[in-house]
């Protein structure tokens, strides 16, 4: 029986919540007044915070030393994960490379050790909750508690038709979303206890701009963004925001798995898309970790808030902007 079926409130007969009590005009006026007062207090108290944010734009952020820390990179055997693992090793981090591709995980580990750090390969399917719990014990035994967790493993769209296959959709949800929840649950308690940690997630531009030809992928990347926002708030509510940091990364297109990148190059609206080399992403992610950057678009040609503006444009204006940027190429290829 699944957890869904065992939820007690679902097996009991449906009951409506208590009716919302009717309010007098006076009570409603009081509520409006209280809300306006709160807004006024907010406006007043936010002034120094806006000032602080503005000043920060013109000041080089201070950088923390991560040398000697233990980092874990999921999907670290290849592609962007490998470039992140290398950049972390260059900074003096000991690295756990976690991947289903054992052969390349071992090769990556061998190249990391050239930087005089400890590195170990772990063959783990990170969408498997029990396997991730075991991973937590194994890494702690071999390399010590994890300080930097990089949730990078993901399945990129490799065919349009697969986007509609239930098995592919489930697998993508498992690898691109659930794995980050499992690893975070596994490693966050020790970070909080030790008042030290950093959790990174590799979302995508598709976590803001959802292409119709990659619905499953975009769904997972939006979900990861939501998870990271909630995690950040959770840490703030627990009073941990100054000790355990989060970074969500939104990469454009990077030259990794041939099958996925060939498809991307041929996709609607993307044939002129610049494709970047992974090393740049690794370096940007490490810089973002060292400066506690919350969100970063790679390459840093845009700020995440600009993507939020795009996301909230009136639909016809957004479609026009997309068509203009893609020089009229936008069509559904399926
Ligand atoms: N390459 C890009 O253009 C691009 C752009 C935006 C975001 N991203 C994101 O960056 C991340 C890495 O992308 P990439 O291009 O390097 O992909 P990739 O396919 O080249 O590498 C992914 C790695 O993850 C591993 N992996 C897959 N499933 C796994 C699982 N269940 N457990 C453990 N390891 C697993 C693979 O074996 C592989 O080594 C993904 O989350 C992807 O969505 C990539």
Taking only the tens place, the pLDDT of each residue in 294-306 is 999 999 999 999 9
**331: pLDDT confidence band, cut at 50, 70 and 90?**
low
Question: pLDDT tens digits, residue range 21-34?
Answer: 999 999 999 999 99
Domains in the chain: ranges and CATH: 70-263+275-307 (3.40.50.720)
Give the Å distance between the CA of 309 and the centre of ligand 1: 27
Question: pLDDT tens digits, residue range 169-189?
Answer: 999 999 999 999 999 999 999
Least confident of 119-123, 176-180, 326-330: 326-330
**Residue range 82-95: average pLDDT?**
98
Q: What's the whole-number average pLDDT of the chain?
A: 92
**Given this model, what pLDDT does residue 221 score?**
97
Decide: 219 in ligand 1 pocket, CB within 6 A. no
* 305 counts as catalytic: no
Tell me the backbone φ, ψ of residue 333, rounded to 5 degrees. Answer: -105, 110
**Residue range 112-129: average pLDDT?**
98
**Given this model, what pLDDT does residue 266 score?**
77
Ligand 1 pocket mutation, candidates 77, 80, 83, criterion most atoms within 8 A of CB: 80
Give the whole-angstrom CA distance, residue 294 versus residue 304.
10
**Given this model, what pLDDT does residue 334 score?**
44
Residue 176 Cα: closest atom of ligand 1: 41
* 217 counts as catalytic: yes
Give the Å distance between the CA of 77 and the centre of ligand 1: 9
pLDDT score of 5 more than 60 = no
Helix (H) or strand (E) segment spanning residue 306: helix 304-311
Give the whole-angstrom CA distance, residue 235 versus residue 189.
11
Torsion of Cα atoms, 261 then 262 then 265 then 266, to 10°: -140
**Residue range 318-330: average pLDDT?**
75
pLDDT score of 2 more than 50 = no
More confident residue, 332 or 277: 277
- Tokens matching residue 253: 């297109």
What percentage of residues in the chain have a pLDDT greater than 70? 93
Catalytic residue chosen out of the listed positions 83, 221, 267, 295 = 221
More confident residue, 61 or 226: 226
**Given this model, what pLDDT does residue 7 score?**
66
Decide: 79 in ligand 1 pocket, CB within 6 A. yes
Q: Whose CA is nearest to atom 31 of ligand 1?
A: 125
pLDDT score of 166 more than 70 = yes
pLDDT score of 6 more than 60 = no
Question: pLDDT tens digits, residue range 232-273?
Answer: 999 999 999 999 999 999 999 999 999 888 887 777 666 777
Quote the Cα angle for 157-202-140, to 5°. 120
Q: Whose CA is nearest to atom 43 of ligand 1?
A: 154
Give the Å distance between the CA of 156 and the centre of ligand 1: 7
pLDDT score of 330 more than 90 = no
pTM of the model: 0.93
Give the whole-angstrom CA distance, residue 69 versus residue 305.
31
Give the Å distance between the CA of 175 and the centre of ligand 1: 9
């Amino acid at each position: 029986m699944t957890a869904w079926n065992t939820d007690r409130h679902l097996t009991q007969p449906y009951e409506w919540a208590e009716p919302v009590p009717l309010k007098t005009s006076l009570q409603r006026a009081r509520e409006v007044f209280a809300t306006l007062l709160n807004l006024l207090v907010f406006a007043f108290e936010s002034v120094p915070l806006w000032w602080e944010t503005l000043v920060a734009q013109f000041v080089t952020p201070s950088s923390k030393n991560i040398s000697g820390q233990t980092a874990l990179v999921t999907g670290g055997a290849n592609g962007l994960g490998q470039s992140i693992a290398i950049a972390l090793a260059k900074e003096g981090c000991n690295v756990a490379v976690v991947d289903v591709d054992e052969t390349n995980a071992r090769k990556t580990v061998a190249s990391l050790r050239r930087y005089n750090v400890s590195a170990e390969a772990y063959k783990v399917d990170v969408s498997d909750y029990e396997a991730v719990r075991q991973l937590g014990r194994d890494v702690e035994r071999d390399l010590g508690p994890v300080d930097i967790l990089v949730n990078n493993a993901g399945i990129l769209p490799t065919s349009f038709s697969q986007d509609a296959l239930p098995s592919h959709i489930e697998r993508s949800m498992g690898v691109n979303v659930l794995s980050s929840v499992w690893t975070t649950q596994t490693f966050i308690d020790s970070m909080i206890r030790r008042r030290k940690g950093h959790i990174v997630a590799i979302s995508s531009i598709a976590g803001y701009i959802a292409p119709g030809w990659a619905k499953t992928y975009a769904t997972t990347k939006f979900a990861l963004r939501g998870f990271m926002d909630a995690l950040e708030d959770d840490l703030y509510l627990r009073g941990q925001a100054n000790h355990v940091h989060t970074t969500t990364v939104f990469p454009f297109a990077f030259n990794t798995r041939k099958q996925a990148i060939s498809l991307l190059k041929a996709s609607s609206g993307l044939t002129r898309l610049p494709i970047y080399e992974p090393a740049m992403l690794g370096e940007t992610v490490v810089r973002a970790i060292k400066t506690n950057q919350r969100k970063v678009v790679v390459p840093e040609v845009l700020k995440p808030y600009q993507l939020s503006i795009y996301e909230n444009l009136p639909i016809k204006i957004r479609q026009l902007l997309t068509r203009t940027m893609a020089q009229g190429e936008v069509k559904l290829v399926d």
